[in-house]
Chains A and B, each alone.
Chain A
Amino acid sequence: MESSISETETALVSALRAGEPAAYERLVRDYGGRILAVCERLLFNREDARDAVQETFLSAFRSLESFDGRSQFATWLHRIAVNASLMKLRTKRRHPEHSIDDLLPTFQADGHRRDPGSRWTNSAGEISEQRETQQLIREKIEALPESYRNVLILRDIEELDTETVAEMLELSPGAVKVRLHRARQALRTLLEPIFGGASK
């Protein structure tokens, strides 16, 4: 299965390099949905995502030569899309970030949890099945401070490894790990009212 996908990719890349106009359209149609999703996940805005999708494909067309065939074509395109979205975010960066500290668990001096929180009785599947809940969860992710949100999305959703994320965000791998941990904890706090039976 894996090899037939690669063969299709190889044929497409050759057609693109040969400058076949139909190949460009096929590339956009075949990969566009996935790329749009990547951009929307990072940008939370259809208009910005659309710009980033366009930038992704134009950038891919321009740099086809640099695709060395060692990684999967889809992986190569995915990274271009992430970078285009991050670039878009940089041009839009707003007010200073609010602190994430209020959303992190607190402990007593002896290391015991200050606030035990509530028990999450539902499974993630049950809860996130409904459209409205999915929307609510996305709003909570969007509410995270941007520098934490980006790490969470790139690691947990885009499933990029720590080193790749560190490179993309110009952070150390250690900083990526710390931010991911804080972002997950903060998101857990934000999702508590949705999942937790009795809230604190």
Chain B
Amino acid sequence: MTCHDALDFLDDYLDGKLPWGQRIAFGLHLGLCRPCRDYLDGYRKTIEASRKAMSEQAVTNCEQIPDEIVQAILAARSQVPRSDRRD
């Protein structure tokens, strides 16, 4: 297995979907190849860091939806034609 092959297996490896034969070959390659170990480590951290940076709190910067958005939605709803409404 080359570094190029190993890279193609990364996602299946992380998802635990790599068939055992390939899993062993991948593990062997990692054991011998420091650049691939470092690459995998950074790849994992990339996924983890993007989750943290995109968490609800981090993105909206607020505990709850701002009141003016709530009011705008309720006002827009009240303009929906009567026939579409259930009340």
Contact = CB atoms under 8 A, between A and B. Distances in A.
B38 A117 contact: yes
Contacts of B63: 33
A117 B7 CA distance: 14
Interface string A155-195: 01100000000000000000001001100110110011001
Contacts of B70: 25, 28-29, 32
Interface in B26-57: 34-36, 38-39, 41-56
B7 A34 contact: no
Per DSSP, are chain B's interface residues mostly helix, strand or loop, or mixed?
A: helix
B18 interface: no
Contact of A19 (B43, B50, B86): B86
A113 B77 CA distance: 57
Given A37-B56, A111-B5, A58 B80 contact: yes
B64 A128 contact: no
A135 to B, nearest CB: 8
A33 B56 contact: yes
B54 A153 contact: yes
A124 interface: yes
Interface size class of chain A, counting residues whose CB lies under 8 Å from the partner chain? 35 or more
Contacts of A188: 39, 42-43, 46
B65 A36 contact: yes
A43 B17 CA distance: 32
Contacts of B84: 62
A134 B58 contact: yes
Nearest to A17: B86
Interface in A90-118: 105, 107, 110-113, 116-118
Given A17-B86, A57-B73, A188-B43, A157 B50 contact: yes
Nearest to B43: A188
A54 interface: yes
Given A29-B70, A120-B45, 12 more contacts: A19-B87, A24-B74, A37-B60, A112-B3, A117-B39, A125-B52, A129-B52, A137-B49, A138-B59, A177-B11, A180-B11, A181-B8
Interface of A: 17-21, 24-25, 28-29, 32-37, 40-41, 50, 53-54, 57-58, 61-62, 64, 105, 107, 110-113, 116-120, 123-125, 127-129, 131, 133-135, 137-138, 141, 152-153, 156-157, 177, 180-181, 184-185, 187-188, 191-192, 195-196
